[in-house]
Amino acid sequence: MKLLFATHNPHKAQEIRDIFLSSGSALEITSLVELGDMEEIVESGDTLVENALIKAREGYARHGLDCFADDTGLEVEALNGRPGVYSARYAGLECRAEDNIQKLLGELQGIQNRSARFRTVVALILDGKEHLFEGVVNGQIIDHKTGAEGFGYDPIFQPNGYPITFGEMSESEKNKISHRGMAIQKLIAFLKNQED
């Protein structure tokens, strides 16, 4: 079975493949880029669920393949859930991950409550039917970048129960406990059930 992952992000595509492989799944995962599809999908939703569905529906419509997509947000308690759905473009549309990190750290300067959570919603379109899966990991925003692994906010997010940030974890360590890893594991379990 071939599944389309509706993303243009090579980091995400590799992370997802690694999770599928480590779970023993034999599914073939392809991405929009690998299909030669470079046209961006506009994430116009106001929620993670809406954006994940927009991307999955568009990938399915363009290529006629069973398709899944995700949307992830970092939700900071002291900022009323911001940056949330705007996490990837928090510092502006053409910003870099570093710009997002600096904006977030600036907003949290002097604030004691640094509780946050990463939340991923995965939308799957399988045989024309829509399914949703969610993964959440709680943690803290530390006051400086630590670690060079991962991407996005990983160097400033320390998951509860761990003395290190996502940015200090190996990809396989992070995938075992991450929000995206949890959501994808639920997706994999669902797909295995469909095969039985």
Q: Specify the pLDDT at position 48.
A: 97
Q: Specify the pLDDT at position 12.
A: 84
Q: Specify the pLDDT at position 22.
A: 87
Q: Specify the pLDDT at position 138.
A: 99
pLDDT below 50 — which residues of the chain? none
Q: What is the pLDDT of residues 66-77, one digit of tens each?
A: 999 999 999 999
Domains parsed from the chain with CATH numbers? 2-195 (3.90.950.10)
Q: Specify the pLDDT at position 10.
A: 84
Active-site positions read: 71
Residue pair 52/132 in contact (Cβ under 8 Å)? The answer is: yes
Q: Specify the pLDDT at position 178.
A: 92
Residue pair 15/183 in contact (Cβ under 8 Å)? The answer is: no
Q: Specify the pLDDT at position 140.
A: 99
Secondary structure letter of residue 128 according to DSSP? T
Cβ contacts of 138 within 8 Å, gap of 6 or more: 115, 116, 117, 159, 160
